[in-house]
Structure 1
Amino acid sequence: GCATKIKVNMLQPAQYHEASLTKAIAVLPFTGPGGPEFAAEIEGVLAGIGIDDKQYFTLVDRASVDKVISEMKFSQSGLVDPKTAVKLGKIIGAQGIYTGVVTQNNYDDSPYSERRSTCVRYERRRDDKGRTYQGACIQWRYYNVRCTKRVANFAVSPKLVDVATGRIIYSRNLSSITNSQGCEDTRPVQSESVLLEQAKASVKNEFRRDIAPFYVTREIRLIDSTDGIESKEAREKLKRGLEYADKGRMDSACELWGEARNIASTSYALLYNLGVCAESRGDLDAALNLYKQSDKILGKPDDDITLALNRVGEAIKNRSKLKEALDRR
């Protein structure tokens, strides 16, 4: 309904935690169709990851990698071999080496036709002043137009090899399919390059979430119930706080709810909203405590409180992983 909602950015641990702990990395040219070019894009993804204004990974520059590859006379096909990656990684001083194979990088066109109709003869009519005008269609012409459905496929299998142990610590098959259709008389079908770029972008987004902490935006609903608030002043502060929150002014909202809570300590809505305040500033323990108090006072299940308890519980569980990932050098 009309409940006020706020958006909160929350840092999540990488889907593959061990991969996120390997910070000094190099990317070897991938094999397969368009492999070397895609490896450069993966390098761009890794170089572009920043958390709290700090670059997350340290990349061995491409020139150094290429120099060692040519000096050691590694073959292109040998670059996907973990043993080769370890050898190379030790020379260039990387903790982890990304290798990979592009298994699909293509598109397929399927022709089809669509039926169209156009009017070739209209009824001529006269109005009451004797003027003629065009009436309904009395003869149609039907024809077919040529159309195309284009499907682009992109798939890659990246691996991260730990240089110290030779273990593969991340390995996935990532794929994406995009499609477009169009006819000669309407909008044209999307070009294969655009569709393949879209498919690659989807794969890169998934890869990004796999290997480093990432932010998600959660929409959190605030509670406007005045249950347990006898004081008119406290009710007014709850309401004004919600107005501030609606305009993205959580600082003022939280201040007002804090003042209201001093007057009305048995309001589950105020406790819950203050829990949202704590959660949005990253104070998870305080948030959990406030949500629990709110839950206890209400004394019956509430969807928003249940969501909040689960969300913060999950964030507290993730906290140690995030700390390890962010502290690791």
Structure 2
Amino acid sequence: MKRHLFRPMAVACIITAVLAATGCAPSAKIPVLRPAEVNLKGANKVAIGTARGRGGREVADLLTSKLFATGKFEVLDRDNLGRLMEEHKLNLSGVVDQDTAVELGKFIGAAVLATVNVSTYNFTRSDSYGEVWKDKEGKSHRTYYKKGKATVTATFKITSLTSGKILAVKTITKEKSDKNSATDVWPESPDRTRLLGIATNATVDRFIKMIAPYTEYVTVKFAKNDKKVPEMEQGVNFAKAGLWDKALERFQTAVKNHPSHAGAWWNLGLAYEYTNQFTEAIDAFGRANTIKSCPKCLQEINNVKRRESERKKLADQGAL
């Protein structure tokens, strides 16, 4: 019996040893600045206008705090906006009118007005239970479930207070679900407030990405380390620490010493890409593909072109 058990265990050990020896391709998560979908360059203030619908107050308050957190805008909340409009005898509900918007802009300066209409702010709950099952002692049991789902739909509108023109309109829907279970008794219901809060947060976050540059973390996958090319691992370690300039130097040395190593060229391409040297990055990925057919190199070239386009948008938005 022991002899038969040994064989699969031995195979497992061998597989583990092989995997440990070959290793996995190293990777790193790095921050990438993405441009806003709508260019609000020149508008340094955002006035928070009307917030209609059930949940409108919650959405508007969260929008105010998140806009402030971007550091890109001076934010005029609804209370201050209301006082300002009252002083100048302007009707808040009429701000969407082009003439009224321009009139308000005279007092606020270069700004945009953000309004929100919440059409859905719901929480639904459903109860269910499973089939009867037996434990090891033969006792019968049943599992009970309570599921909760929060749904938030909001339409955001951005109006220029310089021209009175509508710059952007976006309807966003976000959902968040949760389920609790218990044996032989009904569990507690999922937390309504928490789920609505998460859905509201996701809705506002999506809108913020429309009007303000944002940071997104992406996973960068390097070529497998090669003991014959120590500069590759050295460069990866620098990249993981965020020292891309030093990583670039090591990868340049790697391709200089090993010009036919596709992995070294791949890593060099990544270093060029994430130091915003896009022409050089495309050339490096092309060299890697020439040495060894590399579909991912061609895909990465498209990613480089996308990043180059995004950098131009970021510059135009005054984010660089």
Question: TM-score, normalising length from structure 2?
Answer: 0.78
Work out whether 1:105 is the aligned partner of 2:121.
yes
Q: Could you tell me how far 1:11 is from its partner in structure 2?
A: 1.6
Q: Cα 1:267–1:183, aligned 2, differ >3 Å: closer, same or farther?
A: closer
Which residue of structure 2 lines up, in the alignment, with residue 130 of structure 1? none
Q: Could you tell me how far 1:327 is from its partner in structure 2?
A: 5.9
Q: Could you tell me how far 1:244 is from its partner in structure 2?
A: 5.6
Please give the alpha-carbon distance, in whole angstroms, between the structure 2 residues aligned to 1:320 and 1:248: 23
The counterpart of 1:155, out of the listed 150, 153, 156, is 153
After TM superposition, the structure 1 stretch with the greater mean CA deviation from structure 2, 179-188 or 205-214, is 179-188
Q: How many residue pairs were aligned?
A: 296
Work out whether 1:57 is the aligned partner of 2:57.
no
Contact 1:86 1:166 in 2 (8 A): yes
Q: Could you tell me how far 1:42 is from its partner in structure 2?
A: 0.8
Which residue of structure 2 lines up, in the alignment, with residue 207 of structure 1? 207
Which residue of structure 2 lines up, in the alignment, with residue 131 of structure 1? none
The counterpart of 2:48, out of the listed 19, 22, 27, is 27
**Aligned letter for 2:215?**
Y
SS in 2 for 1:256: helix
Work out whether 1:290 is the aligned partner of 2:288.
no
Please give the alpha-carbon distance, in whole angstroms, between the structure 1 residues aligned to 2:76 and 2:141: 63
Contact 1:31 1:80 in 2 (8 A): no
Q: Cα 1:263–1:183, aligned 2, differ >3 Å: closer, same or farther?
A: closer
The counterpart of 2:299, out of the listed 304, 307, 327, is 307
Which residue of structure 1 lines up, in the alignment, with residue 8 of structure 2? none
Question: TM-score, normalising length from structure 1?
Answer: 0.76
**Aligned letter for 2:188?**
P
SS in 2 for 1:151: strand
Which residue of structure 1 lines up, in the alignment, with residue 262 of structure 2? 268
Please give the alpha-carbon distance, in whole angstroms, between the structure 2 residues aligned to 1:309 and 1:224: 20
Which residue of structure 2 lines up, in the alignment, with residue 133 of structure 1? none
Please give the alpha-carbon distance, in whole angstroms, between the structure 1 residues aligned to 2:149 and 2:223: 46
Which deviations, in whole Å up to 9, do the C-alpha atoms of 1:189-229 show, x marking residues without a partner?
Answer: 22211111011011012112111122222222222487xxx
Which deviations, in whole Å up to 9, do the C-alpha atoms of 1:2-27 show, x marking residues without a partner?
Answer: 1112223222211x233466432211
Gaps of 5+ in 1: 50-54, 120-135, 227-231
Q: Could you tell me how far 1:302 is from its partner in structure 2?
A: 0.6
Contact 2:282 2:304 in 1 (8 A): yes
After TM superposition, the structure 1 stretch with the greater mean CA deviation from structure 2, 203-212 or 81-90, is 81-90
Which residue of structure 2 lines up, in the alignment, with residue 40 of structure 1? 61
SS in 1 for 2:24: coil
Please give the alpha-carbon distance, in whole angstroms, between the structure 2 residues aligned to 1:81 and 1:154: 27
SS in 2 for 1:257: helix
Work out whether 1:13 is the aligned partner of 2:35.
yes
Give the root-mean-square deviation of aligned CA atoms: 3.2
Q: Cα 1:79–1:243, aligned 2, differ >3 Å: closer, same or farther?
A: closer
Q: Cα 1:187–1:285, aligned 2, differ >3 Å: closer, same or farther?
A: farther
SS in 1 for 2:177: strand
Contact 1:29 1:40 in 2 (8 A): no
Which residue of structure 1 lines up, in the alignment, with residue 25 of structure 2? 3
Q: Cα 1:66–1:76, aligned 2, differ >3 Å: closer, same or farther?
A: closer
Please give the alpha-carbon distance, in whole angstroms, between the structure 2 residues aligned to 1:259 and 1:118: 66
Please give the alpha-carbon distance, in whole angstroms, between the structure 2 residues aligned to 1:64 and 1:245: 46
Q: Could you tell me how far 1:43 is from its partner in structure 2?
A: 1.3
Q: Could you tell me how far 1:65 is from its partner in structure 2?
A: 1.0
Please give the alpha-carbon distance, in whole angstroms, between the structure 1 residues aligned to 2:57 and 2:97: 16
**Aligned letter for 1:321?**
K
Which residue of structure 1 lines up, in the alignment, with residue 272 of structure 2? 278
Which residue of structure 1 lines up, in the alignment, with residue 3 of structure 2? none
What's the % identity of the aligned pairs? Answer: 23
**Aligned letter for 2:69?**
G
Which residue of structure 1 lines up, in the alignment, with residue 14 of structure 2? none
After TM superposition, the structure 1 stretch with the greater mean CA deviation from structure 2, 183-192 or 169-178, is 183-192
Please give the alpha-carbon distance, in whole angstroms, between the structure 2 residues aligned to 1:249 and 1:325: 26
Which deviations, in whole Å up to 9, do the C-alpha atoms of 1:128-182 show, x marking residues without a partner?
Answer: xxxxxxxx645x456685x533222211111001122221111011111222333
